[in-house]
Amino acid sequence: MLSHCPPGSARRLRRAAALTLVFGAVLATGAATGSFGDVLGGDRGRPSASRIPAGTVADTDEIAEAIAEGKVGPQAAEALVSRSGDRWSSFYTAQEYEGFQQSLDGRYVGVGLWVRRTENGRIEIDRVQSGSPAAGAGIRAGDRLLGIDGTDVTGRPVTEVVSRLRGSGTSGSAVRLGLRRGARSWDASPRRALLPTESVRVRHLPGGVTDVKIDAFTKGVARQVRDVLAAQARTAGGGILLDLRGNSGGLVTEAVGVASALLDGGLVATYDVHGRQRALYADDAGDTETPLVVLVDGGTMSAAELLAGALQDRGRAVVVGSRTFGKGSVQMPSRLSDGSVAELTVGHYRLPAGRRVDGRGIEPDLAVTGGADAEAEALEVLDGLGTPAR
């Protein structure tokens, strides 16, 4: 779990995790200007009371319309989203949404720590980002995290630990960490900084296999994958192991960009926005020769499911692992007068073969449980696919 998750309580962290197939965030960053219209609007002045009767379960289309007409203020919008019954619609303060946008842009405010919880409830450092404040403070992977700003974190949920690590999300603020390495205990006080995300990790495995692990589809991920494929093309044999396990989504344009690197044009997905059908297509001239296996699990969500399902439907990849999460709904943002944002569900997407993902997930071609077993099976499949012609 990354230390750059959105701030706030565990409830807010769960809500932020829901913001995964981010068509709206794509629009907000200007990557798809004109594709969805001006849903962000602007400062609409002082809103009047909601026209939606109190106590009703509101349709998200009604909420979006009321916001667009300036008839719903921030508090009313938050209440309406909460009562809508839609698990994926969310309300964000201006500060929360700004932090979310930063993470999609490939930046976050934090100290550069990844943490995990062991079976006995201990919180351990899983990874330390190179060049980060945590690395400068001498913190290493395997160190035990005892406390944050005087609060014991042993036994606490990872989401809460991550939230405490991030704090208010203010760059330059200090956080006091209690740590243990073997018999030695000490305190470190790194200062939070604006850091680049590490959404793509690459390992070169025996036999010429390149393992590409994508944690999230942040800005620039597709370019990084294309660079990896270009390097792979200059080597013999192997293939690509595309690891999407635990990938909760992100910018759909980046997911389509990765598909473009692996397909020679054609359909990636169709989707609807308020009932109007749209389509997403891959660019031409992608790499269709290098053997490809995609690893998925129950944490593979949204834009990651879109990519895995498209590669599966198009016959480009063998999908290995366990059934994916099943999040195939589309959210778009509506901004209120104080800068807060209501993320509302506006439609659903389908894969090239017409399959719906929402509530169903993607069934792998080869079902394997267990992380190490899945990777071993995936490597066997890659070996069976053989060396591409050069």
Task: Give strand ranges (E) for 290-369.
Answer: 292-296, 318-321, 329-335, 341-350, 366-367
> In which band, very low, low, confident or very high, does the pLDDT at 83 lie, cut at 50, 70 and 90?
confident
Measured CA to CA, the distance from residue 179 to residue 163 in angstroms comes to 18
Least confident range of 3-17, 31-45, 50-64, 352-366: 31-45
What proportion of the chain, given as a percentage, has pLDDT over 90?
54
The string of pLDDT tens digits covering residues 231-280 is: 887 776 679 999 999 898 989 999 999 999 999 999 999 999 888 999 99
Q: Cα separations (Å) of 154 from 118, 163, 257?
A: 10, 14, 41
DSSP 8-state secondary structure symbol assigned to residue 38: S
| Arithmetic mean of pLDDT, 70-85 | 88
Whether the per-residue pLDDT at 307 is higher than 70: the answer is: yes
Q: What are the tokens at 128?
A: 């330390």
Question: What's residue 233's pLDDT?
Answer: 78
Q: Name residues whose C-beta falls within 8 Å of residue 69's C-beta, 6 or more positions apart in sequence.
A: none
Q: Name residues whose C-beta falls within 8 Å of residue 197's C-beta, 6 or more positions apart in sequence.
A: 2, 4, 103, 106, 107, 108, 216, 218
User: Does residue 245 contact residue 215 with C-beta atoms inside 8 Å?
Assistant: no
User: Does residue 201 contact residue 215 with C-beta atoms inside 8 Å?
Assistant: yes
Domains and CATH numbers, the chain: 107-196 (2.30.42.10), 200-385 (3.90.226.10)
Measured CA to CA, the distance from residue 28 to residue 36 in angstroms comes to 10
Question: Model-level pTM?
Answer: 0.75
Q: What are the tokens at 138?
A: 């001498």
Alpha helices in the chain (DSSP H): 10-18, 23-28, 60-68, 74-83, 94-104, 133-136, 158-166, 221-233, 252-262, 303-313, 371-385
Whether the per-residue pLDDT at 23 is higher than 50: the answer is: no
The string of pLDDT tens digits covering residues 45-73 is: 222 223 333 333 357 778 888 888 888 89
Q: Phi first, then psi: give them for residue 380, nearest 5 degrees.
A: -65, -40
Measured CA to CA, the distance from residue 349 to residue 174 in angstroms comes to 43
The string of pLDDT tens digits covering residues 28-46 is: 222 222 222 222 222 222 2
